[in-house]
Homo-oligomer: A and B are copies of this chain.
């Protein structure tokens, strides 16, 4: 089935999450992705979330639509196969530690010898250069270095971490953007290139006012975490309601909507209440006033419904359990039901991009380990069935039933 990246072929050396999120986006947009999985176990995530027999729901979520070639990368015959594949693809994506591809003989210069216009996309925690480049890194490690973690949590105690992979997944998306941009450049000029993205850069890119307000004020403003409420408008944050919490954004022109919802029109213009800056100075009192009013509702749903009627930007703070049943998320496929040959039906986060020329998501399936060994080696490299059999017997190519 066609899609926007029709005809693009990607050789995918990525593991776990940031890299596979990049090639997931490319696959959902129609690219042919050939995932190289190191024998014997393949992608590490094949061992995680085995909730339906031996099948990993984690692997399925991130790798639908990718072909799997499982090869022993410590065997020269395995490396020869993989290196030969470079000539047949447009893009190579990897998220090894910096330097590893070169050690494997697959650095950018080597790749270029095999395929002069190749696009190499390198994804890492800290980038390919710089004092931290060789440190081991994960999502939260980069998040901590980026200053993002320091902004989450109470003013008078340590920070909290996000328990969603905001850095890994969005780094993958940024990498996909770099790849598609580089493909456009190659199609117009014949020139390939090496693009790179790091978790740290991606997290840092997300600071809204913190960096420029600190440096632009000559260091006077020192942004830090501010509890359950924003630190430059008010009211905006997480409020206590009977039985739970709600998110309310009652700043700027929404303050009058919130006052209307509270039946307190006097507060729209009252001194000390009439703009964000003065409300921010008295944040505790503003929050307490709103929470006293909220206490009159029997539950979260009643409070949210009432405020929505008055046009106040408000949301229940849904649990995971609540999200998978929410009519809006279900109707739009934000929560996507996948059917797997082995694991059956379950839900994963959908793909966020919607294309009117391709209104239906592609019907992608997750591969079993090494499922496409013969397909790729025979069809793409023109090797014989006999060679595949020999390599399989020698353990250079491997396969597993799930």
Partner-B contacts on A (CB < 8 A): 4-6, 17, 25, 29, 48-49, 51-52, 57-58, 60-61, 108, 126-127, 129-132, 135-138, 140-154, 158-166, 168-171, 173-174, 176-178, 180-185, 187-188, 191, 193-198, 200-217, 219, 222-228, 230-231, 236-238, 240, 245-247, 249, 254, 308, 311-324, 326-329, 331-332, 334-335, 343, 346-357
- For A338, the closest partner residue in chain B by CB is B212
- For A135, the closest partner residue in chain B by CB is B308
* Beta-carbon contact of B326 and A356 below 8 Å: no
CA distance A311 to B97 in the complex (A): 13
CA distance A30 to B236 in the complex (A): 36
Partner of A145, one of B174, B203, B216, B318: B318
CA distance A136 to B27 in the complex (A): 32
A357: chain B residues at CB < 8 Å are: 182, 185, 191, 193
* Beta-carbon contact of A240 and B158 below 8 Å: yes
* Beta-carbon contact of B164 and A313 below 8 Å: no
A164: chain B residues at CB < 8 Å are: 147-148, 151, 203, 206-208, 210
A209: chain B residues at CB < 8 Å are: 48-49, 58
* Beta-carbon contact of A202 and B352 below 8 Å: yes
**When A and B form their complex, which 6 residue pairs have the shortest distance between CB atoms, in order from nearest?**
A201-B352, A151-B163, A144-B315, A144-B247, A215-B347, A165-B208
* Beta-carbon contact of B320 and A230 below 8 Å: no
CA distance A116 to B207 in the complex (A): 38
CA distance A185 to B3 in the complex (A): 8
**Contacts known (A196-B354, A347-B211); A331 close to B4, Cβ less than 8 A:** no
Given A180-B181, A197-B353, A222-B321: 13 more A-B contacts, CB < 8 Å = A58-B208, A129-B331, A132-B328, A147-B319, A151-B320, A152-B163, A159-B245, A161-B247, A166-B170, A169-B206, A200-B334, A215-B324, A224-B320
CA distance A205 to B61 in the complex (A): 10
**Contacts known (A4-B182, A141-B314); A152 close to B150, Cβ less than 8 A:** no
* Beta-carbon contact of B320 and A181 below 8 Å: no
CA distance A47 to B266 in the complex (A): 26
Partner of A204, one of B49, B316, B350: B350
Partner of A174, one of B215, B225, B335, B352: B352
- For A52, the closest partner residue in chain B by CB is B216
> How far does the Cβ of A232 sit from chain B's closest Cβ, in whole Å?
8
| A-B contacts, 15 listed (Cβ < 8 Å) | A57-B213, A61-B211, A132-B328, A140-B236, A141-B249, A144-B247, A144-B318, A145-B326, A163-B223, A163-B231, A169-B206, A181-B355, A194-B356, A214-B320, A224-B319
A151: chain B residues at CB < 8 Å are: 162-164, 320
* Beta-carbon contact of A356 and B193 below 8 Å: yes
* Beta-carbon contact of A152 and B162 below 8 Å: yes
**Contacts known (A161-B228, A211-B348); A195 close to B354, Cβ less than 8 A:** yes
* Beta-carbon contact of A161 and B200 below 8 Å: no
A132: chain B residues at CB < 8 Å are: 328
**Which of A4, A222, A326 has the most chain B CB atoms inside 10 A of its CB?**
A4
**Which of A168, A191, A335 has the most chain B CB atoms inside 10 A of its CB?**
A335
CA distance A200 to B333 in the complex (A): 11
A129: chain B residues at CB < 8 Å are: 331-332
- For A149, the closest partner residue in chain B by CB is B317
CA distance A145 to B304 in the complex (A): 12
- For A169, the closest partner residue in chain B by CB is B206
- For A136, the closest partner residue in chain B by CB is B313
CA distance A143 to B334 in the complex (A): 13
